Protein backbone atom coordinates (compact mmCIF):
# COMPACT_ATOMS: atom_id res chain seq x y z
CA UNK A 1 0.00 0.00 0.00
CA UNK A 2 1.45 3.37 -0.99
CA UNK A 3 1.25 6.52 1.07
CA UNK A 4 1.29 9.82 -0.76
CA UNK A 5 4.20 12.04 0.30
CA UNK A 6 3.62 14.71 -2.37
CA UNK A 7 2.68 17.59 -0.13
CA UNK A 8 5.42 17.02 2.41
CA UNK A 9 7.57 19.99 1.36
CA UNK A 10 4.72 22.48 1.06
CA UNK A 11 2.78 22.16 4.27
CA UNK A 12 4.13 22.64 7.79
CA UNK A 13 1.94 19.76 8.92
CA UNK A 14 1.41 16.65 6.90
CA UNK A 15 -1.15 14.00 7.51
CA UNK A 16 0.56 11.00 5.98
CA UNK A 17 -2.23 8.61 6.49
CA UNK A 18 -4.69 7.59 9.05
CA UNK A 19 -4.35 3.95 9.94
CA UNK A 20 -8.07 3.44 9.91
CA UNK A 21 -8.27 4.78 6.37
CA UNK A 22 -5.64 2.28 5.30
CA UNK A 23 -7.25 -0.57 7.13
CA UNK A 24 -10.90 0.36 6.57
CA UNK A 25 -11.92 1.40 10.05
CA UNK A 26 -10.41 -1.59 11.79
CA UNK A 27 -9.58 -0.91 15.40
CA UNK A 28 -6.95 -2.86 17.27
CA UNK A 29 -6.66 -3.80 20.88
CA UNK A 30 -4.75 -1.43 23.13
CA UNK A 31 -1.44 -3.31 23.20
CA UNK A 32 -1.37 -3.68 19.42
CA UNK A 33 -2.27 -0.10 18.67
CA UNK A 34 0.21 1.33 21.19
CA UNK A 35 2.95 -0.83 19.67
CA UNK A 36 2.00 0.31 16.15
CA UNK A 37 1.91 3.94 17.26
CA UNK A 38 5.38 3.71 18.81
CA UNK A 39 6.72 2.09 15.64
CA UNK A 40 5.13 4.77 13.46
CA UNK A 41 6.65 7.55 15.60
CA UNK A 42 10.09 5.93 15.49
CA UNK A 43 9.89 5.40 11.71
CA UNK A 44 8.87 9.03 11.24
CA UNK A 45 11.82 10.60 13.05
CA UNK A 46 10.95 10.15 16.71
CA UNK A 47 8.75 12.03 19.17
CA UNK A 48 10.20 15.44 18.29
CA UNK A 49 8.88 15.09 14.72
CA UNK A 50 5.91 12.80 14.86
CA UNK A 51 2.79 12.54 16.95
CA UNK A 52 -0.14 10.22 16.98
CA UNK A 53 -3.73 11.02 17.83
CA UNK A 54 -5.69 7.99 18.98
CA UNK A 55 -9.19 7.41 17.68
CA UNK A 56 -12.05 5.31 18.94
CA UNK A 57 -15.59 4.55 17.93
CA UNK A 58 -18.50 5.54 20.15
CA UNK A 59 -20.63 2.51 20.99
CA UNK A 60 -23.59 4.82 21.63
CA UNK A 61 -23.86 6.58 18.28
CA UNK A 62 -21.09 5.09 16.12
CA UNK A 63 -19.19 8.37 15.77
CA UNK A 64 -15.44 8.26 15.26
CA UNK A 65 -13.79 10.30 17.98
CA UNK A 66 -10.19 11.52 18.17
CA UNK A 67 -8.41 12.44 21.39
CA UNK A 68 -7.14 16.00 21.37
CA UNK A 69 -3.98 15.19 23.35
CA UNK A 70 -1.24 13.66 21.20
CA UNK A 71 0.43 10.38 22.10
CA UNK A 72 -2.03 9.51 24.86
CA UNK A 73 -4.46 6.62 24.74
CA UNK A 74 -6.79 7.16 27.68
CA UNK A 75 -8.66 4.33 29.38
CA UNK A 76 -11.93 6.12 28.71
CA UNK A 77 -13.10 8.76 26.30
CA UNK A 78 -16.19 10.90 25.99
CA UNK A 79 -17.98 11.00 22.66
CA UNK A 80 -18.04 14.56 21.33
CA UNK A 81 -21.30 13.84 19.54
CA UNK A 82 -23.57 12.16 22.11
CA UNK A 83 -21.58 12.53 25.34
CA UNK A 84 -21.39 8.79 26.09
CA UNK A 85 -18.43 7.73 28.18
CA UNK A 86 -16.68 4.92 26.35
CA UNK A 87 -14.27 2.41 27.86
CA UNK A 88 -11.65 2.13 25.17
CA UNK A 89 -10.51 -1.41 24.54
CA UNK A 90 -9.99 -0.90 20.82
CA UNK A 91 -8.56 2.07 18.96
CA UNK A 92 -6.66 3.27 15.94
CA UNK A 93 -4.59 6.38 15.38
CA UNK A 94 -3.74 9.16 13.01
CA UNK A 95 -0.07 9.98 12.42
CA UNK A 96 0.94 13.64 12.22
CA UNK A 97 4.39 14.64 11.00
CA UNK A 98 5.84 18.05 11.80
CA UNK A 99 8.94 18.35 9.63
ZN1 LIG B 1 -21.55 8.92 20.66
Tell whether 88 is covered by a domain. yes
pTM of the model: 0.74
Q: Are strands 50-57 and 14-18 parallel, antiparallel or unpaired?
A: unpaired
Q: How many domains does the chain divide into?
A: 1
* Digit-coded pLDDT (tens) for 30-56: 999 999 999 999 999 999 999 999 999
Distance 63 CA to ligand 1 centre (A): 5
Please indicate, yes or no, if residue 71 is contained in any of the structural domains: yes
Distance in Å, CA 10 to ligand 1 centroid: 35
Is residue 5 assigned to a domain? no
Structural domain contains residue 70: yes
User: Is 86 a member of any domain?
Assistant: yes
Q: Who surrounds ion ligand 1 at CB < 5 A?
A: 58, 60-61, 63, 79, 81-82, 84
Q: How are the residues of the chain apportioned to helix, strand and coil, as percentages rounded to the nearest 5? A: 20, 30, 50
Q: Do the domain assignments include residue 51?
A: yes
In this predicted model, what pLDDT tens digit does every residue of 57-66 receive, in sequence order? 999 999 999 9
Q: Is 30 part of any domain?
A: yes
Residue-range definition of the domain harbouring residue 54 = 14-97
Q: Rounded to the nearest whole angstrom, what is the distance from the C-alpha of residue 94 to the centroid of ligand 1?
A: 19
Amino acid sequence: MKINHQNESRSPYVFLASIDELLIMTDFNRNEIIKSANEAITRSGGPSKAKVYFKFTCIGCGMRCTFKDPNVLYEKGQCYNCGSEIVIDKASFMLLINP
